[in-house]
Structures are given as C-alpha cells and as structure tokens.
Amino acid sequence: MITEKNIEAFVLTYNRKEMLKDSITSLLNQSAGKIKITVMDNGSNDGTENLVKEMQKSHDNLFYHRREVNGKQIDNFIEAVNLAEKDYLIMFHDDDILHPDYIKFAICAINKYPNTAMISTDYKEWTHPDNENWEKASARFDYCKDKQTFANYLYRMQRFAYPAAIYKTQNLKDYDFDKDYYIQFGKMGDKPLVVNTMKENDGAVIFRSKKLLRYRVHPGQDTASSGPYYEEIIAYNRFFKPFMEKTLYSKFMYNIINYKQLKCAYIWGRDNTLALNDFIQKAIDENAGCLWTKLCIKPYIGGFFIETAHILRKIFKTNYKRVF
C-alpha cells in the first residue's frame, strides 16, 4: 500500500520568495501527513534561500537544493528527478497553492488503481490565492486505463493542472529528456511531456474538483507576446494526432474536436497575422488537421459542420472511467 512515505514534493522556484512561502505552506499542511519537500532553487537572488532556511527551523521534512547559476526550467526539473528517492513525486510550482487533502486523495486513488503513473486535477484560477478558507473538496476522479486513453482525455477535456502533476518516479528516471524537443510546443509543452513520460499500460487519474488547486494568475503572465504562436499550436496538434487516430472511436472524436482545439488555441495566442480560416488551412496543410476540419472552413457549408460537431461533442464522451 502506498502511503505519504512513498511520495515527495519538489518545488521549482526562481525569484518568487513571497509567493513561494504560501506554496511551501500548502505542502506542509497536507492532511495525509508529512511528505518530504525539497525546494529546487534555480539560482534566486531575492532571499529565497534565507526564507527556506527559516522555515526549516520548524519543519524537519523541508529541504533546500540550490543551483548557483540560473538555467532553464527543464534543467531544474531534471535535477529534481535525479535527486528523487520516493516512488512518486510532485513537481510543484512556486506560485500555486494545493488543497490540504490533495495528497491524501492521490494516495487513495493510487491504491485503488495500482497501475496509476500520473495524477492531476482540474483547477480554478486565482489572482491572490492564500491558504485560508479551504472548502471541502470532492475526491471524485476520472480514470484513464492506459496511455492511449489518457492522451485522448488530455486532447479533449483539457482538465489537467501541470503544477499539480504527480509522476511515477521511475518513469521520469527512465525517460530520456530531449531538452530541445519541447521548444517546438512553447508554453503548450506540458501535456506532451506528461504523455511522453508514461508507459503504454500506465493509468492516469484526474480529479474533477476545481477546489484542489488554486492556480495563481499574474498580471501580464499570459500575453500575446508569450504565444502560443502558430507553429507551436500546429506542433501540439500534430503531436496528439497519432493518438487520436489510433482507433475508430478516437478518430471520430478527433474529427469533431480538432477544429475547436485549433480555434481556441488561435484565440489564446492572439496573433492576427493570419485570419482564422487561413490559420486552420495552414494547420491542415501541416498535418495538424482532419477531414471534418477541412469541411468547417468551406464557404457556405462550414457553419453547418461546426454546429454539428458542437452537438456531437455534447452527445459523445471520451472513453474513460468515472470514479466516485
């Protein structure tokens, strides 16, 4: 049986001392009990080290690891993987706050489905999150039986908080990180990363409650200058296409979802150098689209296919198990 002794947390941070304290506190307050927490300081110069050392005086499960020179976030991530000793680990962000029951819920889910190698949750955006006034959260989750089902889930549902991702440690240690590979996705690279680190028969758990993670939104954090750019959107959709076309059912789902996914990412990126339909055509030409998407941009009849896809999305669901 997995317990809190089998899970550890790494907090990846750089120059966010004030936010970091709340993030660490949320890990220290987990109802599951004490878990090992290591702050991975990516060369901060704002007093982060002093903050953590002060907190260490009251918490013997809190550790500090410093990289003297600030580097890429992926380098800090990989260094944490190399330091990991427990069966599962969470790579937590330095600006978000975790519900006190999150680790407890994760442990219960892993024990229910032992092939679980990835856990995350839905979330709610906050501008000024804190550790006060936590509401009772539901432990209900969606269970994906294998990597294929999980990839389909991610592409369709979008309910996945990367900061709250709990990985099976051995998967990360076995994975050959190509640091340049993820550049092509820009800020959309989180989902391809978690899919790539899973093995074919690994299961995944995604909690449905938005109360389990307070995801901090900063002023200017998500701007057009940070993308996603057209090529990043296309790379992301091209990554998921083989998963979505693997079975007749998933191919059907892909056809009624693809146009919407491309359009939503286009709006998110806020790059107006191409009109929407021109961008959609570009995605199709670069193998990131499908037949139904081609029909959605046809003159006169496109609106019919867009609306039909909308209706079908409400009727059909991704093939995963809902657990209460």
Helix axes 302-315, 248-269, angle to 10 degrees: 120
Encode pLDDT of 13-31 as tens digits. Answer: 999 998 999 999 999 999 9
Residues 104 and 48 grouped into a single domain: yes
Q: Into how many domains does the chain fold?
A: 2
Query: Which uninterrupted H or E stretch holds 126?
Result: strand 124-126
> Is residue 156 within 8 Å of 318, Cβ to Cβ?
yes
Residue for token digits 């640091």? 179
Residues 199 and 179 grouped into a single domain: yes
Cα–Cα distances (Å) from 44 to 107, 168, 221, in that order, read 32, 28, 19
Single residue among 166, 185, 216 that ends a domain in this structure: 216
pLDDT tens digits, one per residue of 151-166: 999 998 877 999 999 9
Structure tokens at 268: 């998110």
pLDDT at 184 over 60: yes
Q: Which helix (H) or strand (E) holds 41?
A: strand 36-41
Looking at the structure, tell me whether residues 195 and 268 fall in a common domain: no
**Are residues 200 and 295 both part of a single domain?**
no
Residues 294, 200, single domain; the answer is no
Q: What b/e readout covers 240-261, taking b as 16+ CB neighbours within 10 angstroms? A: bbebbeeeeebeebbbbbbbbb
State the pLDDT at residue 222: 60
pLDDT of residue 29: 97
Mean pLDDT of the chain, nearest integer: 93
**What pLDDT sits at residue 309?**
96
- Angle value at C-alpha 145, between 139 and 148, nearest 5 degrees: 125
Residue 224 confidence class, pLDDT cut points 50, 70, 90:
low
Place of tokens 């092939």: 115
Residue 237 burial (C-beta neighbours within 10 Å; 0-12, 13-18, 19+): buried
Rounded distance between C-alpha atoms, residue 196 and residue 194, angstroms: 5
Q: What is the pLDDT of residue 75?
A: 87
- Residue 232 clears pLDDT 90, i.e. is over it: yes
Arithmetic mean of pLDDT, 53-69 = 94
Query: For the segment 253-291, what is each residue's pLDDT rounded down to a tens digit?
Result: 999 999 999 999 999 999 889 999 999 999 999 999 999
Q: Which CATH number covers residue 147?
A: 3.90.550.10
Residue 293 domain boundaries: 224-323
Please give the pLDDT value at position 322.
Answer: 67
Can you give the pLDDT at residue 221?
63
Same domain for 161 and 144: yes
pTM of structure: 0.92
Q: What is the pLDDT of residue 223?
A: 57
- In this model, does residue 225 exceed pLDDT 80? no
Burial of 109 (0-12, 13-18, 19+ CB in 10 A): buried
Confidence of residue 56 (pLDDT cuts 50, 70, 90): very high
